[in-house]
Structure 1
């Protein structure tokens, strides 16, 4: 079994020598006489455990552990404080800062070894659990991706008129929502997690079309008024599908975003959309984003009853809907992404193939 690495930081040479005698047989021991030296070693080595003296010149152990816990790279390394202090206040402060244990000086060899062994075992167990959780999360994400793409292909296999629409909108949606993350206005809402879940949900926005009769869904001419009203029910059908599933998974953010997108992507900023007639920011952000890319794809795609509009004409039409059909701030950002969207439009066939193969 490979030896574990321990970094010991103590400004007293005698303490370093004592620990060396106790630990060097069973562990790889790195030594530092100050916090500064300790960080220099940490630039090169990630130890399995840190033994950290509290009372040191320049930077004490409390300040060093604050910096360790603020570092993404170092925060998970277990830290045991070395101290001559035995008062409860010092221990409480150390634990509050993230220490896992204390070893009292002068060192008792067997006590020192047992405390180190215990913390290394706990750390290994925690890492094992984290790995299991990470694998389960990755498996769940792969399943969600497969289901999203699979349902999208199912809808598109029935809809012979708007072929590729679901994947196209997902391609545009990903570019759009990723760009929003860089804007201060959306900093709180458009997080990495939101982007990941919203992108994964986006192919499901038209899932309600599965419930629409083929005669209407596959019609190659413009829909009559009654047929159009019937077609509009796909939003409610899609929303209801996810609402039923969410009853058993109340806290599932993926399903919540998918429901919002399916139910609300035909709402309008001015309140004249469907099915609920929501207005302004009452419409969830993911649905407001989808409504723009949904229209962009519809305009730039060929239909039996129309030729595809150019990117420029589609952009002009969407701009006309600023503040009426669409969120004005989102339209402004969509306008700024003109080159990005044009590139996605021009390469959508290969991007769709890549999406299907992922």
Structure 2
């Protein structure tokens, strides 16, 4: 047995380096897109930042080629990027079709459909306003989701554990929960002294309902045998809640947080369009008012990345907290 375990590192070290073929194909795709962007003539007008888009594509192609061909640290990076290889190959093809239909042939009407270099121009020249809107939306979303999650968790545990509390909270949940938060916009802007406070409340309400329902479901579905065993060992009611019910309900809680975070984004956009001084929703309305559709598409892309990043962070926390759970959904 010691001889076999000692031979394992030598076998791993002697394993030949394998070229990442999908990475090479992706590098070729980005190179072709760069040449097509810079050399093919535009149909309607010369779009700014066309050369910059080509240079960026060349840099991506060179980086992918180095990762695919060189051993050492880049080989370990290639192993991590290997699952994303088909997407790295598909992206330049999709961008090429996008540019073909807009800048090169003009098949889609301008300015309603902007080419990729128009979005690059927005990120390069309007980044201060876009960054301010992103930070404002993130702060507004963080406050609303945090409040909704905390109160939803408390309400869900209370309803699932206590029949007396559930008697009073359950009707409120059934009446108020299914109502779309955006339907309460006029009332909230009348009650709250500022549009920011009204927006935080609406986001919190959109998060509160799924977190409450899923937490309640998780607490109510805990096997009664766990409680019986804990009571036999002398556990108090406090112990049963915090050491038995809540840990067993955590998978349901994270599902509720996932659903609440998704619902909060739709409310965020609508709330920011109704009077907030900054934010991605405000930016979208401003861009639409000035017919700056490239700015609108750029903001939508930033919003999608923000939503995906926050959900990814939530799933990373869930994987750390629920490391014992098998067959969990991966994001």
TM-score strictly above 0.5 = no
Larger helix percent: 2
In our comparison, the structure showing a higher alpha carbon Rg is 1
TM-score normalised to structure 2 length: 0.30
Larger strand percent: 1
TM-score normalised to structure 1 length: 0.28
Per chain length, whose mean CA-contact separation is higher, i.e. which structure has more relative contact order (CA < 8 Å, sep 6+)?
2
